[in-house]
Amino acid sequence: MKKTSTRLADGRELIYYDSRDDVVRDAVDRRPLDAVATASEIRHDRLLGDHVAIASHRQARTYHPPADECPLCPSRDGRFSEIPAADYDVAVFENRFPSLAGDSGRCEVVCFTSDHDASFADLTDEQAALVLEAWTDRTAELSQLPGVEQVFCFENRGAEIGVTLGHPHGQIYAYPFVTPRTERMLTSLAAHRAATAGGNLFDEVVADELADGRRVVLEGEHWVAFVPHAAHWPYEVHLYPKRRVPDLLALDDAARTEFPQIYLEVLRRFDRIFGAEGERDGGQHGGGEHGPRAAGAARTPYIAAWHQAPLRAEYRGEFALHLELFTIRRTSGKLKFLAGSESGMNVFINDVPPEAAAQRLREVASE
């Protein structure tokens, strides 16, 4: 992997990640942009203990532009975008409309490919491995910023999720606090340790799923993907390395090599699960030579979220890196909306038994 760091016209950082060492990245951002002047404020909810980011400048962010005006496509034919180069493998840059900025953290955009009509599921193993390297490198760099407590790599896909740019991309948030969801995991981890004289809750969860087997979707030598026993979402898969590590930096070479094979297959099954009846999130997308999706398969809206250990958490080494993937679709043409119980009280009601979801995801495996 070759990494090249440069600056956009308004001073934001842009980093290219290339699979070839001989690539030269010297294109200049020629847009007449003013210097970035964004700020966000972190407020604390005294009743819930949560943090809320106030970022009013995001109201002006780009919203569903036509494909020929996509800001994440390469700069070509006289049209300038966020990526000055005429082509790229993976590109990462500071978000122009960040939720977190300055002393309140940092937000970055990760462009998985220059192909506007592709998706992560269409990538080759080599391309997906390069994205993993970019996630890892950004986690290492952002962890060194003053005040950062947790690094979160994630992807939102589909208009139903709220995505405003159709180009295949994800984001990275560097939080100045530990997120509430992670705090709850750490609390459960500590309680289990105390109750079992040092046992690890993450290890037990993975071991129980492997022993039960009914909810296991896919198992490799170094990774396992399963629908959790108490899944919140109709179709939800958690992906764990079998050797527990706290973050992306701690993955060994064997786990890095196998990850694209496991993750891409799970993503492709998500696209197959609803078949030709599923609603597309815009346009007719073919899998191409590198996208072995079933004919007629839908582009399933989903969120893919990496959970990494906070940087200064007690017993940090006991946390387990894992990826949580879920869709808001509950069946073909129908979405799972967060209504009164979920939104008002954070009590989820799942219409699909986890065992049934896992069985369906096994049935749509690649041949």
Report pLDDT digits (tens) over 346-363.
999 999 999 999 999 999
CA distances from 81 to 10, 141, 324 (A): 13, 25, 31
The set of residues, in sequence order, having a beta carbon less than 8 Å from that of 289 and lying 6+ positions away, is none
Report pLDDT digits (tens) over 158-183.
989 989 899 999 999 999 999 999 99
The set of residues, in sequence order, having a beta carbon less than 8 Å from that of 22 and lying 6+ positions away, is none
Answer for the pair 93, 108: CB distance below 8 angstroms, yes or no: yes
What pLDDT score does 294 carry?
42
Q: What tokens appear for 44 in the block?
A: 């604390």
Domain 2-175, CATH number (from 1.10.260.40, 3.40.50.2300, 3.30.428.10, 3.40.50.300)? 3.30.428.10
**What amino acid is encoded at 339 in this protein?**
A
CATH class of 180-363: alpha beta
**Binding site annotation covers 290?**
no
Catalytic one of 169, 238, 285, 307:
169
Please state the separation of Cα 30 from the chain's center in Å: 30
Report pLDDT digits (tens) over 210-242.
999 999 999 999 999 999 999 999 999 999 999
**Binding site annotation covers 111?**
no
What is the number of alpha carbons within 13 Å of residue 148 lying toward its C-beta?
23
**Binding site annotation covers 107?**
no
Q: What are phi and psi of 297, to 5 degrees?
A: -65, 145
Tell me the pairing of strands 216-219 and 13-18.
unpaired
What pLDDT score does 278 carry?
40
Residue identified by tokens 């010297």 is 26
Tell me the pairing of strands 2-7 and 329-331.
unpaired
For helices 125-142 and 253-272, angle between their N-to-C axes, nearest 10 degrees: 120
Answer for the pair 281, 302: CB distance below 8 angstroms, yes or no: no
Residue 169 known to be catalytic: yes
**Binding site annotation covers 51?**
no
Q: What are phi and psi of 142, to 5 degrees?
A: -70, -30
Cβ count within 10 A of residue 125: 15
Query: What is this structure's pTM?
Result: 0.92
Residue 200: helix, strand or coil by DSSP?
Answer: coil
Taking the C-alpha atoms of residue 42 and residue 38, their distance in angstroms, rounded to an integer, is 14
Taking alpha carbons only, the member of 183, 242, 258, 228 closest to residue 326 is 228
Residue 142: helix, strand or coil by DSSP?
Answer: helix
What is the mean pLDDT of each successive set of 10 residues along the chain, which is 367 residues long? 96 97 96 84 93 81 82 94 97 94 93 97 98 98 97 95 93 97 96 97 98 98 98 97 98 98 97 62 37 55 97 94 95 89 94 96 89
Domain ranges in the chain are 2-175, 180-363
